[in-house]
Amino acid sequence: MPQQFAEEFEHVRSEVLTMGGLVEGQLQGAIEAMIAGDTDKARTIERDDYRINAKEVEIDEECTRLLAKRQPEASELRLVMSVIKTISDLERIGDESERVAKMAKFMGGDRLHENVMSEFEHMGQLVRAMLANVLDAFARTSVEQAVAVVQADQKVDAKYESITRQLITYMAEDPRAIPAVLNILWAARALERIGDRSQNIAEYIIYLVKGKDVRHTTVEAVVAAAQDETPVDPPASAGSASGSGA
């Protein structure tokens, strides 16, 4: 990898991780607002979403300039394209976090049975772990961590199905609870989508390192692609790059 490209890309990667930190904060705050019924915190989350949007635009513009200036070859192009896709999913995770905050605002002081909120909190913990782990996988370019994130999404999906069944039962038993139930249902749906977006980022990492597009495949196929040792001309990390830039 040319040194000049590596140096410029390292700055881009650093900005992606900064954006990831903003998204993590939004997600954590939204879940806390939902669990505690904290409408003030929910409004803060809604108000601060613009920071994530602005960061996405900034990074996207840097990637465009990098492509235009350096005309990267195959492995470098995979780096840039993976970043562009990653920031798009991070921005959408921010949107889903904002949606959770909005549901918390609508809930206000309405609370459902402790079991339901406990299940929602557990689902939130699973999703937060997926996001944190995939950001770490991105920072380390770790295929192993990326695969673990893809596998973790199955737990999130199962938890979402469990919560949905519980909420349907509540609505059948007490129609008066329907408004509150729907708010939690939409918030849980947003968490499930955040899990999907985190899985997308994990798949981009596998594509980056292995050169294999594992989107829309099974978990088994993802694992097989990650274990494939066929040489792919893997991209060097920016910190270890050498040579002269264009």
Domain ranges in the chain are 3-230
How large is the greatest C-alpha to C-alpha distance in the chain, in angstroms? 70
As a CATH number, domain 3-230 is: 1.20.58.220
**DSSP string across 65-111:** HHHHHH---HHHHHHHHHHHHHHHHHHHHHHHHHHHHHHHHHHTT--
- 10-residue block means of pLDDT along the chain (246 residues)? 80 96 97 92 94 97 89 82 96 97 83 79 97 97 94 96 92 87 94 97 91 79 75 47 38
Cα(164)–Cα(168) distance, integer angstroms: 6
Cα(131)–Cα(99) distance, integer angstroms: 17
What is the structure's pLDDT at 210? 82
Cα(243)–Cα(170) distance, integer angstroms: 64
**CA count, 13 A, side-chain hemisphere, 91:** 16
Element (H, E) at 141: none
